[in-house]
Structure 1
Amino acid sequence: MKFEKILIKTGENHVATLTLNRPESMNTFSSQMALELNQALIDLDSDPLVRVILLKGAGRAFCAGIDVTELSGKTAIEYREWIERMEQPLVTISKLKKPVIAQLQGVAAANGMGLIAAADLVIAADNSRMGLTAINVGLNCVGPVIPVARCVGRKKALELLLYGKLIKAPEALSLGLINKIVPKQDLDSLALQWAEELAKKSPIAVQIAKTAFYHSEDMSYQAQFAYMNEAFARLCTTDDAKEGVNAFFEKRPPVWQEK
Protein backbone atom coordinates (compact mmCIF):
# COMPACT_ATOMS: atom_id res chain seq x y z
CA MET A 1 0.00 0.00 0.00
CA LYS A 2 1.18 3.51 -0.81
CA PHE A 3 1.06 5.68 2.31
CA GLU A 4 -0.06 9.28 1.89
CA LYS A 5 -1.65 10.12 5.25
CA ILE A 6 0.85 8.17 7.37
CA LEU A 7 4.59 8.67 7.76
CA ILE A 8 6.82 5.72 8.66
CA LYS A 9 10.40 6.01 9.86
CA THR A 10 12.57 3.13 10.97
CA GLY A 11 16.01 3.47 12.49
CA GLU A 12 18.88 1.34 13.71
CA ASN A 13 17.48 1.37 17.25
CA HIS A 14 14.69 -1.15 16.45
CA VAL A 15 12.03 1.58 16.95
CA ALA A 16 9.65 2.46 14.13
CA THR A 17 7.97 5.87 14.32
CA LEU A 18 4.47 5.95 12.85
CA THR A 19 3.03 9.45 12.38
CA LEU A 20 -0.57 10.43 11.63
CA ASN A 21 -0.02 13.02 8.92
CA ARG A 22 -3.10 15.19 8.48
CA PRO A 23 -1.92 18.20 10.53
CA GLU A 24 -4.17 20.61 8.64
CA SER A 25 -7.16 18.65 10.03
CA MET A 26 -5.67 17.95 13.47
CA ASN A 27 -5.04 14.38 12.27
CA THR A 28 -8.71 13.49 12.20
CA PHE A 29 -9.41 10.04 10.82
CA SER A 30 -10.32 9.99 7.15
CA SER A 31 -11.19 6.64 5.60
CA GLN A 32 -7.85 6.69 3.81
CA MET A 33 -5.85 7.44 6.95
CA ALA A 34 -7.68 4.72 8.89
CA LEU A 35 -6.87 2.13 6.23
CA GLU A 36 -3.25 3.28 5.97
CA LEU A 37 -2.77 3.27 9.74
CA ASN A 38 -4.17 -0.22 10.09
CA GLN A 39 -1.98 -1.56 7.29
CA ALA A 40 1.12 0.22 8.60
CA LEU A 41 0.64 -1.35 12.03
CA ILE A 42 0.37 -4.81 10.47
CA ASP A 43 3.39 -4.23 8.24
CA LEU A 44 5.58 -3.03 11.11
CA ASP A 45 4.53 -5.97 13.27
CA SER A 46 5.97 -8.32 10.64
CA ASP A 47 9.16 -6.31 10.11
CA PRO A 48 12.05 -8.24 11.74
CA LEU A 49 14.02 -5.02 12.30
CA VAL A 50 11.23 -3.43 14.38
CA ARG A 51 10.72 -4.25 18.06
CA VAL A 52 8.68 -1.23 19.22
CA ILE A 53 6.22 1.04 17.39
CA LEU A 54 6.06 4.71 18.45
CA LEU A 55 2.76 6.30 17.37
CA LYS A 56 2.43 10.09 17.16
CA GLY A 57 0.60 12.87 15.37
CA ALA A 58 2.01 15.59 13.13
CA GLY A 59 1.47 19.20 14.13
CA ARG A 60 -0.21 20.53 17.25
CA ALA A 61 -2.62 17.65 17.96
CA PHE A 62 -2.39 13.90 18.29
CA CYS A 63 -5.81 13.22 16.76
CA ALA A 64 -9.08 15.15 17.03
CA GLY A 65 -11.34 12.22 16.18
CA ILE A 66 -13.10 11.31 12.94
CA ASP A 67 -13.39 13.62 9.93
CA VAL A 68 -17.09 14.53 10.05
CA THR A 69 -17.03 15.70 6.43
CA GLU A 70 -17.40 11.98 5.59
CA LEU A 71 -20.48 11.62 7.78
CA SER A 72 -23.42 12.38 5.51
CA GLY A 73 -25.19 10.45 2.79
CA LYS A 74 -24.77 6.83 3.88
CA THR A 75 -27.16 3.96 4.51
CA ALA A 76 -27.17 2.20 7.88
CA ILE A 77 -25.05 -0.62 6.44
CA GLU A 78 -22.59 1.87 4.98
CA TYR A 79 -22.35 3.71 8.30
CA ARG A 80 -21.52 0.46 10.06
CA GLU A 81 -18.80 -0.41 7.53
CA TRP A 82 -17.46 3.15 7.77
CA ILE A 83 -17.22 3.24 11.56
CA GLU A 84 -15.70 -0.26 11.68
CA ARG A 85 -13.00 0.95 9.28
CA MET A 86 -12.30 3.98 11.48
CA GLU A 87 -12.03 1.87 14.64
CA GLN A 88 -10.11 -1.08 13.20
CA PRO A 89 -6.68 0.26 14.26
CA LEU A 90 -7.89 0.29 17.89
CA VAL A 91 -8.59 -3.44 17.60
CA THR A 92 -5.47 -4.23 15.58
CA ILE A 93 -3.12 -2.83 18.22
CA SER A 94 -4.26 -5.50 20.69
CA LYS A 95 -3.54 -8.21 18.10
CA LEU A 96 0.02 -7.11 17.33
CA LYS A 97 2.93 -9.00 18.85
CA LYS A 98 4.99 -5.83 19.23
CA PRO A 99 4.23 -3.07 21.73
CA VAL A 100 2.80 0.26 20.59
CA ILE A 101 3.73 3.39 22.53
CA ALA A 102 1.56 6.44 21.86
CA GLN A 103 3.19 9.85 22.06
CA LEU A 104 0.47 12.33 23.01
CA GLN A 105 0.72 16.02 22.24
CA GLY A 106 -2.11 18.53 22.18
CA VAL A 107 -5.56 16.99 21.99
CA ALA A 108 -6.77 13.41 21.61
CA ALA A 109 -10.52 13.54 21.10
CA ALA A 110 -13.18 10.93 20.34
CA ASN A 111 -11.54 8.23 18.18
CA GLY A 112 -8.22 9.88 19.00
CA MET A 113 -8.78 9.22 22.70
CA GLY A 114 -9.79 5.68 21.81
CA LEU A 115 -6.50 5.26 19.99
CA ILE A 116 -4.60 6.53 23.03
CA ALA A 117 -6.48 4.12 25.31
CA ALA A 118 -5.90 1.26 22.88
CA ALA A 119 -2.13 1.83 22.77
CA ASP A 120 -0.11 -0.44 25.04
CA LEU A 121 1.73 2.47 26.68
CA VAL A 122 1.36 6.26 26.55
CA ILE A 123 3.76 9.12 27.18
CA ALA A 124 2.11 12.55 27.19
CA ALA A 125 3.11 16.20 27.09
CA ASP A 126 2.18 18.18 30.18
CA ASN A 127 -0.27 20.35 28.20
CA SER A 128 -2.15 17.47 26.56
CA ARG A 129 -5.88 16.83 26.93
CA MET A 130 -8.28 14.09 25.91
CA GLY A 131 -11.98 13.40 25.84
CA LEU A 132 -14.84 11.42 24.30
CA THR A 133 -16.30 14.58 22.77
CA ALA A 134 -18.70 13.28 20.10
CA ILE A 135 -21.71 13.67 22.44
CA ASN A 136 -21.30 17.45 22.10
CA VAL A 137 -22.31 17.31 18.42
CA GLY A 138 -25.17 14.85 18.83
CA LEU A 139 -23.13 11.71 18.23
CA ASN A 140 -21.34 9.41 20.68
CA CYS A 141 -18.10 7.52 21.21
CA VAL A 142 -19.48 4.07 21.93
CA GLY A 143 -16.58 2.48 20.04
CA PRO A 144 -13.68 4.45 21.56
CA VAL A 145 -15.16 4.08 25.05
CA ILE A 146 -14.41 0.33 24.92
CA PRO A 147 -10.62 0.65 25.38
CA VAL A 148 -11.19 3.67 27.62
CA ALA A 149 -13.41 1.64 29.95
CA ARG A 150 -10.74 -1.05 30.23
CA CYS A 151 -8.41 1.62 31.56
CA VAL A 152 -10.73 3.58 33.87
CA GLY A 153 -13.65 1.34 34.82
CA ARG A 154 -17.39 1.59 34.21
CA LYS A 155 -18.45 4.66 36.18
CA LYS A 156 -15.74 6.99 34.92
CA ALA A 157 -16.05 5.66 31.38
CA LEU A 158 -19.76 6.47 31.36
CA GLU A 159 -19.05 9.95 32.69
CA LEU A 160 -16.53 10.57 29.93
CA LEU A 161 -18.90 9.12 27.32
CA LEU A 162 -21.99 11.08 28.39
CA TYR A 163 -20.52 14.47 29.31
CA GLY A 164 -17.89 14.72 26.58
CA LYS A 165 -15.47 16.84 28.59
CA LEU A 166 -11.76 17.12 27.89
CA ILE A 167 -9.57 16.05 30.79
CA LYS A 168 -6.01 17.25 31.37
CA ALA A 169 -2.89 15.11 31.55
CA PRO A 170 -2.70 14.84 35.38
CA GLU A 171 -6.24 13.45 35.59
CA ALA A 172 -5.57 11.10 32.69
CA LEU A 173 -2.50 9.84 34.54
CA SER A 174 -4.48 9.26 37.75
CA LEU A 175 -7.13 7.33 35.79
CA GLY A 176 -4.57 5.02 34.20
CA LEU A 177 -5.05 6.36 30.66
CA ILE A 178 -1.41 7.39 30.32
CA ASN A 179 1.82 6.15 31.88
CA LYS A 180 3.88 9.30 32.27
CA ILE A 181 3.83 13.06 31.76
CA VAL A 182 6.82 15.00 30.45
CA PRO A 183 7.45 18.65 29.55
CA LYS A 184 6.04 19.57 26.14
CA GLN A 185 9.44 20.64 24.81
CA ASP A 186 11.00 17.30 25.77
CA LEU A 187 8.26 15.01 24.47
CA ASP A 188 9.93 13.96 21.22
CA SER A 189 13.28 13.08 22.76
CA LEU A 190 11.89 11.40 25.88
CA ALA A 191 9.31 9.39 23.96
CA LEU A 192 11.99 8.04 21.64
CA GLN A 193 14.26 7.34 24.60
CA TRP A 194 11.48 5.39 26.34
CA ALA A 195 10.77 3.39 23.17
CA GLU A 196 14.47 2.63 22.70
CA GLU A 197 14.71 1.42 26.30
CA LEU A 198 11.90 -1.06 25.67
CA ALA A 199 13.50 -2.14 22.38
CA LYS A 200 16.58 -3.28 24.32
CA LYS A 201 14.57 -5.96 26.14
CA SER A 202 14.32 -9.49 24.77
CA PRO A 203 11.96 -9.23 21.76
CA ILE A 204 10.61 -12.73 22.40
CA ALA A 205 9.93 -12.03 26.08
CA VAL A 206 8.18 -8.73 25.26
CA GLN A 207 6.05 -10.24 22.50
CA ILE A 208 4.99 -13.27 24.55
CA ALA A 209 4.17 -10.97 27.48
CA LYS A 210 1.97 -8.68 25.39
CA THR A 211 0.22 -11.46 23.49
CA ALA A 212 -0.48 -13.48 26.64
CA PHE A 213 -1.78 -10.41 28.47
CA TYR A 214 -4.40 -9.60 25.82
CA HIS A 215 -5.40 -13.21 25.18
CA SER A 216 -6.00 -13.88 28.87
CA GLU A 217 -7.63 -10.56 29.75
CA ASP A 218 -11.23 -11.81 29.66
CA MET A 219 -10.59 -15.24 31.18
CA SER A 220 -11.63 -16.30 34.64
CA TYR A 221 -9.08 -15.80 37.40
CA GLN A 222 -7.99 -19.44 37.53
CA ALA A 223 -7.96 -19.88 33.75
CA GLN A 224 -5.86 -16.76 33.39
CA PHE A 225 -3.17 -18.18 35.69
CA ALA A 226 -3.17 -21.44 33.71
CA TYR A 227 -2.80 -19.59 30.42
CA MET A 228 -0.05 -17.30 31.71
CA ASN A 229 1.88 -20.22 33.19
CA GLU A 230 1.77 -21.98 29.84
CA ALA A 231 3.07 -18.81 28.16
CA PHE A 232 5.89 -18.60 30.70
CA ALA A 233 6.79 -22.24 30.12
CA ARG A 234 7.03 -21.61 26.37
CA LEU A 235 9.26 -18.61 27.00
CA CYS A 236 11.62 -20.67 29.16
CA THR A 237 12.41 -22.92 26.18
CA THR A 238 13.65 -20.02 24.01
CA ASP A 239 17.27 -19.11 23.29
CA ASP A 240 16.64 -15.59 24.58
CA ALA A 241 15.61 -16.88 28.01
CA LYS A 242 18.77 -18.98 28.24
CA GLU A 243 20.93 -16.08 27.02
CA GLY A 244 19.34 -13.65 29.48
CA VAL A 245 19.98 -15.90 32.48
CA ASN A 246 23.55 -16.66 31.36
CA ALA A 247 24.27 -12.97 30.85
CA PHE A 248 22.93 -12.22 34.33
CA PHE A 249 25.28 -14.72 35.98
CA GLU A 250 28.20 -13.68 33.79
CA LYS A 251 27.56 -9.99 34.54
CA ARG A 252 27.46 -8.92 30.89
CA PRO A 253 24.86 -7.37 28.56
CA PRO A 254 22.70 -10.01 26.86
CA VAL A 255 22.88 -10.56 23.11
CA TRP A 256 19.35 -11.44 22.10
CA GLN A 257 18.94 -14.30 19.65
CA GLU A 258 15.29 -13.39 18.92
CA LYS A 259 14.27 -17.04 18.98
Structure 2
Amino acid sequence: MSAAPQIQPDTPPVLRDQPEAGLVRLTLNRPKAYNSLSVGLMTALQNELDAIRADRSVKVVIIAANGPGFCAGHDLKEVRANPGRQAAEALFRQCSMLMQSIIALPQPVIAQVHGIATAAGCQLVASCDLAVAAETARFATPGVNIGLFCSTPMVALSRSVSRKHAMEMLLTGEMVAASRARELGLVNRVVPEDELDSAVLSLAGMIASKSPLTVKIGKEAFYRQLEMPLAQAYDYASRVMTENLLARDAAEGIDAFIEKREPKWQGC
Protein backbone atom coordinates (compact mmCIF):
# COMPACT_ATOMS: atom_id res chain seq x y z
CA MET A 1 0.00 0.00 0.00
CA SER A 2 1.40 3.35 -0.96
CA ALA A 3 1.78 6.07 1.63
CA ALA A 4 -0.84 8.82 1.75
CA PRO A 5 0.27 11.99 -0.03
CA GLN A 6 1.66 14.67 2.24
CA ILE A 7 -0.29 17.94 2.34
CA GLN A 8 2.09 20.77 1.64
CA PRO A 9 1.71 23.88 3.79
CA ASP A 10 1.02 27.25 2.21
CA THR A 11 4.50 28.73 1.56
CA PRO A 12 4.40 31.57 2.18
CA PRO A 13 0.69 32.40 2.64
CA VAL A 14 1.40 36.12 3.09
CA LEU A 15 4.04 38.17 1.28
CA ARG A 16 5.41 41.45 2.62
CA ASP A 17 7.03 44.24 0.65
CA GLN A 18 7.58 47.98 0.89
CA PRO A 19 6.38 49.69 -2.31
CA GLU A 20 7.31 53.14 -0.98
CA ALA A 21 8.84 54.64 2.15
CA GLY A 22 6.43 54.37 5.06
CA LEU A 23 4.17 51.88 3.29
CA VAL A 24 3.95 48.13 3.86
CA ARG A 25 1.97 45.87 1.55
CA LEU A 26 0.80 42.48 2.83
CA THR A 27 -0.22 40.26 -0.07
CA LEU A 28 -2.42 37.22 0.49
CA ASN A 29 -0.68 34.43 -1.37
CA ARG A 30 -2.94 31.41 -1.81
CA PRO A 31 -4.00 32.18 -5.37
CA LYS A 32 -5.17 28.67 -6.28
CA ALA A 33 -7.55 28.75 -3.30
CA TYR A 34 -8.70 32.31 -4.02
CA ASN A 35 -6.73 33.33 -0.91
CA SER A 36 -9.19 31.62 1.39
CA LEU A 37 -8.44 32.23 5.06
CA SER A 38 -6.75 29.02 6.14
CA VAL A 39 -5.42 28.81 9.66
CA GLY A 40 -1.93 29.19 8.21
CA LEU A 41 -2.79 32.33 6.27
CA MET A 42 -4.55 33.94 9.25
CA THR A 43 -1.61 33.10 11.50
CA ALA A 44 0.86 34.63 9.04
CA LEU A 45 -1.24 37.77 8.61
CA GLN A 46 -1.67 38.11 12.37
CA ASN A 47 2.09 37.81 12.89
CA GLU A 48 2.73 40.54 10.31
CA LEU A 49 0.20 42.89 11.92
CA ASP A 50 1.67 42.26 15.36
CA ALA A 51 5.13 43.14 14.08
CA ILE A 52 3.91 46.26 12.27
CA ARG A 53 2.07 47.52 15.34
CA ALA A 54 5.29 48.52 17.08
CA ASP A 55 7.16 49.63 13.94
CA ARG A 56 7.10 53.44 13.86
CA SER A 57 8.58 53.48 10.37
CA VAL A 58 5.33 52.03 8.98
CA LYS A 59 2.76 54.74 8.29
CA VAL A 60 0.13 52.85 6.25
CA VAL A 61 -0.60 49.16 5.62
CA ILE A 62 -2.06 47.81 2.37
CA ILE A 63 -3.70 44.37 2.22
CA ALA A 64 -3.68 43.06 -1.35
CA ALA A 65 -3.86 39.60 -2.92
CA ASN A 66 -2.34 37.45 -5.63
CA GLY A 67 -4.30 35.46 -8.18
CA PRO A 68 -7.77 35.86 -9.67
CA GLY A 69 -9.52 37.11 -6.52
CA PHE A 70 -8.98 38.98 -3.27
CA CYS A 71 -10.36 36.45 -0.78
CA ALA A 72 -13.08 33.80 -0.95
CA GLY A 73 -13.62 33.55 2.81
CA HIS A 74 -12.76 30.62 5.03
CA ASP A 75 -11.11 27.53 3.56
CA LEU A 76 -14.13 25.21 3.50
CA LYS A 77 -12.04 22.15 2.68
CA GLU A 78 -9.98 22.80 5.79
CA VAL A 79 -13.17 23.37 7.80
CA ARG A 80 -14.64 20.02 6.72
CA ALA A 81 -11.35 18.26 7.40
CA ASN A 82 -11.46 19.49 11.02
CA PRO A 83 -15.03 18.87 12.25
CA GLY A 84 -16.30 19.41 15.75
CA ARG A 85 -17.06 22.21 18.19
CA GLN A 86 -13.51 22.73 19.44
CA ALA A 87 -12.06 23.26 15.96
CA ALA A 88 -14.93 25.57 14.95
CA GLU A 89 -14.59 27.68 18.09
CA ALA A 90 -10.83 28.00 17.58
CA LEU A 91 -11.26 28.98 13.91
CA PHE A 92 -13.79 31.74 14.50
CA ARG A 93 -11.94 32.98 17.57
CA GLN A 94 -8.76 33.31 15.50
CA CYS A 95 -10.57 35.10 12.68
CA SER A 96 -12.35 37.46 15.06
CA MET A 97 -9.05 38.34 16.73
CA LEU A 98 -7.48 39.01 13.33
CA MET A 99 -10.26 41.39 12.28
CA GLN A 100 -10.08 43.24 15.60
CA SER A 101 -6.31 43.53 15.24
CA ILE A 102 -6.83 45.50 12.03
CA ILE A 103 -9.12 47.92 13.86
CA ALA A 104 -6.71 48.18 16.80
CA LEU A 105 -3.62 48.72 14.62
CA PRO A 106 -2.28 52.29 15.06
CA GLN A 107 -1.64 52.56 11.33
CA PRO A 108 -4.49 52.87 8.82
CA VAL A 109 -5.13 49.74 6.74
CA ILE A 110 -6.29 49.90 3.11
CA ALA A 111 -7.82 46.90 1.33
CA GLN A 112 -6.80 46.66 -2.34
CA VAL A 113 -9.58 44.55 -3.83
CA HIS A 114 -9.79 42.76 -7.16
CA GLY A 115 -11.89 39.81 -8.26
CA ILE A 116 -14.14 38.47 -5.52
CA ALA A 117 -14.28 39.26 -1.81
CA THR A 118 -16.82 36.90 -0.29
CA ALA A 119 -17.86 35.74 3.18
CA ALA A 120 -14.87 36.25 5.50
CA GLY A 121 -13.13 37.92 2.55
CA CYS A 122 -15.89 40.54 2.52
CA GLN A 123 -15.47 40.72 6.29
CA LEU A 124 -11.78 41.47 5.78
CA VAL A 125 -12.61 44.34 3.42
CA ALA A 126 -15.18 45.74 5.84
CA SER A 127 -12.70 45.51 8.72
CA CYS A 128 -10.07 47.59 6.92
CA ASP A 129 -10.18 51.34 7.51
CA LEU A 130 -10.40 52.08 3.79
CA ALA A 131 -10.96 50.04 0.65
CA VAL A 132 -10.19 50.65 -3.02
CA ALA A 133 -11.71 48.24 -5.52
CA ALA A 134 -11.23 47.46 -9.18
CA GLU A 135 -14.30 48.06 -11.35
CA THR A 136 -14.53 44.31 -11.88
CA ALA A 137 -14.49 43.44 -8.17
CA ARG A 138 -17.52 41.77 -6.60
CA PHE A 139 -18.61 41.29 -3.00
CA ALA A 140 -20.94 38.89 -1.21
CA THR A 141 -21.79 37.22 2.07
CA PRO A 142 -23.11 33.99 0.55
CA GLY A 143 -23.06 31.70 3.56
CA VAL A 144 -26.85 31.48 3.56
CA ASN A 145 -26.58 29.61 0.23
CA ILE A 146 -24.71 26.71 1.84
CA GLY A 147 -26.57 26.61 5.16
CA LEU A 148 -23.95 28.57 7.12
CA PHE A 149 -25.10 32.14 7.79
CA CYS A 150 -22.27 34.69 7.61
CA SER A 151 -22.63 35.63 11.28
CA THR A 152 -19.06 36.76 11.94
CA PRO A 153 -18.76 38.63 8.61
CA MET A 154 -22.04 40.28 9.65
CA VAL A 155 -20.26 42.06 12.52
CA ALA A 156 -17.92 43.97 10.24
CA LEU A 157 -20.44 44.38 7.41
CA SER A 158 -23.14 45.86 9.66
CA ARG A 159 -20.64 48.44 10.89
CA SER A 160 -19.78 49.52 7.35
CA VAL A 161 -23.15 49.69 5.58
CA SER A 162 -26.72 50.42 6.66
CA ARG A 163 -28.75 47.74 8.43
CA LYS A 164 -31.13 47.04 5.57
CA HIS A 165 -28.34 46.82 2.99
CA ALA A 166 -26.36 44.53 5.27
CA MET A 167 -29.41 42.32 5.82
CA GLU A 168 -30.07 42.16 2.09
CA MET A 169 -26.53 40.95 1.42
CA LEU A 170 -26.69 38.46 4.28
CA LEU A 171 -30.14 37.06 3.47
CA THR A 172 -29.77 36.79 -0.31
CA GLY A 173 -26.09 35.93 -0.67
CA GLU A 174 -26.11 37.75 -4.00
CA MET A 175 -23.00 39.26 -5.54
CA VAL A 176 -22.67 43.04 -5.32
CA ALA A 177 -20.77 44.90 -8.03
CA ALA A 178 -17.98 47.28 -7.09
CA SER A 179 -20.01 50.33 -8.10
CA ARG A 180 -22.86 49.24 -5.83
CA ALA A 181 -20.42 48.45 -3.01
CA ARG A 182 -19.24 52.04 -3.20
CA GLU A 183 -22.83 53.31 -3.02
CA LEU A 184 -23.38 51.16 0.07
CA GLY A 185 -20.21 52.45 1.76
CA LEU A 186 -18.36 49.14 1.71
CA VAL A 187 -15.54 50.60 -0.41
CA ASN A 188 -14.26 54.17 -0.78
CA ARG A 189 -13.12 54.25 -4.39
CA VAL A 190 -13.63 52.21 -7.56
CA VAL A 191 -11.05 52.41 -10.34
CA PRO A 192 -10.18 50.58 -13.57
CA GLU A 193 -8.39 47.33 -12.78
CA ASP A 194 -5.16 48.44 -14.45
CA GLU A 195 -5.12 51.54 -12.24
CA LEU A 196 -5.81 49.74 -8.95
CA ASP A 197 -2.23 49.53 -7.74
CA SER A 198 -1.41 53.16 -8.50
CA ALA A 199 -4.68 54.39 -6.97
CA VAL A 200 -4.00 52.56 -3.71
CA LEU A 201 -0.41 53.80 -3.54
CA SER A 202 -1.58 57.36 -4.18
CA LEU A 203 -4.13 57.17 -1.36
CA ALA A 204 -1.67 55.49 0.99
CA GLY A 205 1.01 58.06 0.20
CA MET A 206 -1.37 60.91 0.94
CA ILE A 207 -2.16 59.48 4.37
CA ALA A 208 1.49 58.66 5.07
CA SER A 209 2.38 62.33 4.56
CA LYS A 210 0.36 63.31 7.64
CA SER A 211 1.60 63.30 11.23
CA PRO A 212 1.73 59.63 12.29
CA LEU A 213 0.84 60.61 15.86
CA THR A 214 -2.23 62.51 14.71
CA VAL A 215 -3.36 59.64 12.48
CA LYS A 216 -2.90 57.15 15.32
CA ILE A 217 -4.89 59.33 17.73
CA GLY A 218 -7.63 59.87 15.18
CA LYS A 219 -8.03 56.23 14.19
CA GLU A 220 -8.32 55.04 17.78
CA ALA A 221 -10.77 57.81 18.69
CA PHE A 222 -12.92 57.16 15.62
CA TYR A 223 -13.66 53.55 16.53
CA ARG A 224 -14.04 54.18 20.27
CA GLN A 225 -16.55 57.01 19.94
CA LEU A 226 -18.71 55.03 17.51
CA GLU A 227 -19.83 52.74 20.32
CA MET A 228 -20.68 55.58 22.74
CA PRO A 229 -23.88 57.56 23.35
CA LEU A 230 -23.75 61.07 21.85
CA ALA A 231 -22.92 63.04 25.00
CA GLN A 232 -20.29 60.52 26.09
CA ALA A 233 -18.76 60.57 22.60
CA TYR A 234 -18.41 64.37 22.72
CA ASP A 235 -16.84 64.24 26.20
CA TYR A 236 -14.38 61.60 25.07
CA ALA A 237 -13.55 63.37 21.79
CA SER A 238 -12.99 66.65 23.64
CA ARG A 239 -10.46 64.98 25.93
CA VAL A 240 -8.72 63.38 22.96
CA MET A 241 -8.57 66.66 21.06
CA THR A 242 -7.17 68.47 24.11
CA GLU A 243 -4.34 65.95 24.41
CA ASN A 244 -3.76 66.13 20.66
CA LEU A 245 -3.54 69.94 20.79
CA LEU A 246 -0.77 69.70 23.40
CA ALA A 247 1.38 67.46 21.16
CA ARG A 248 4.41 68.84 19.33
CA ASP A 249 3.06 67.83 15.94
CA ALA A 250 -0.11 69.86 16.50
CA ALA A 251 1.94 72.95 17.38
CA GLU A 252 4.17 72.36 14.35
CA GLY A 253 1.18 71.85 12.06
CA ILE A 254 -0.58 75.01 13.22
CA ASP A 255 2.62 77.07 13.00
CA ALA A 256 3.32 75.72 9.50
CA PHE A 257 -0.20 76.62 8.40
CA ILE A 258 0.14 80.16 9.77
CA GLU A 259 3.61 80.56 8.25
CA LYS A 260 2.48 79.04 4.92
CA ARG A 261 5.11 76.29 4.85
CA GLU A 262 5.20 72.49 4.88
CA PRO A 263 5.15 70.97 8.39
CA LYS A 264 7.99 68.81 9.67
CA TRP A 265 6.42 65.99 11.66
CA GLN A 266 8.22 64.46 14.62
CA GLY A 267 5.59 61.89 15.58
CA CYS A 268 5.22 63.24 19.09
TM-score interval, smaller chain: over 0.9
Are 2:40 and 1:25 equivalent residues in the alignment? Answer: no
- Cα distance per residue 1:201-235 (max 9 Å; x no partner): 11111110000111121110000011111111111
Amino acid at match of 2:14: I
Deviation at 1:102, TM superposition (A): 0.6
Match of 1:4 in 2: 12
Are 2:177 and 1:165 equivalent residues in the alignment? Answer: no
Larger Rg: 2
Deviation at 1:33, TM superposition (A): 0.4
Matches within 5 A, 1:65-214: 65-72=73-80, 73-214=82-223
Deviation at 1:74, TM superposition (A): 2.5
Measure, in 1, the Cα distance between the counterparts of 2:101 and 2:249.
26
Are 2:63 and 1:45 equivalent residues in the alignment? Answer: no
Amino acid at match of 1:145: M
Counterpart contact for 1:57–1:63, Cα < 8 Å: yes
Amino acid at match of 1:205: T
Gaps of 5+ in 2: 1-10
Deviation at 1:158, TM superposition (A): 1.6
Are 2:262 and 1:248 equivalent residues in the alignment? Answer: no
Measure, in 2, the Cα distance between the counterparts of 1:89 and 1:21.
17
Deviation at 1:121, TM superposition (A): 0.5
Query: SS at 1:64's partner residue?
Result: coil
Measure, in 2, the Cα distance between the counterparts of 1:32 and 1:159.
32
Query: SS at 2:67's partner residue?
Result: coil
Further displaced range: 120-129 or 80-89: 80-89
- Cα distance per residue 1:128-164 (max 9 Å; x no partner): 1000012222212100111111111222212211211
> What's the TM-score once normalised by structure 1's chain length?
0.96
- Cα distance per residue 1:171-194 (max 9 Å; x no partner): 101111010111111101111111
Further displaced range: 86-95 or 191-200: 86-95
Amino acid at match of 1:127: T
> What's the TM-score once normalised by structure 2's chain length?
0.93
Counterpart contact for 1:87–1:111, Cα < 8 Å: no
Gaps of 5+ in 1: none
Q: 1:227 aligns with which of 208, 232, 236?
A: 236
Q: CA RMSD in A?
A: 1.4
Instruction: List 4+ stretches of structure 1 deviating above 3 A.
Output: none
Measure, in 2, the Cα distance between the counterparts of 1:235 and 1:10.
29
Amino acid at match of 1:233: T
Percent same amino acid at aligned positions? 35
Report how many aligned residue pairs link the two structures: 258
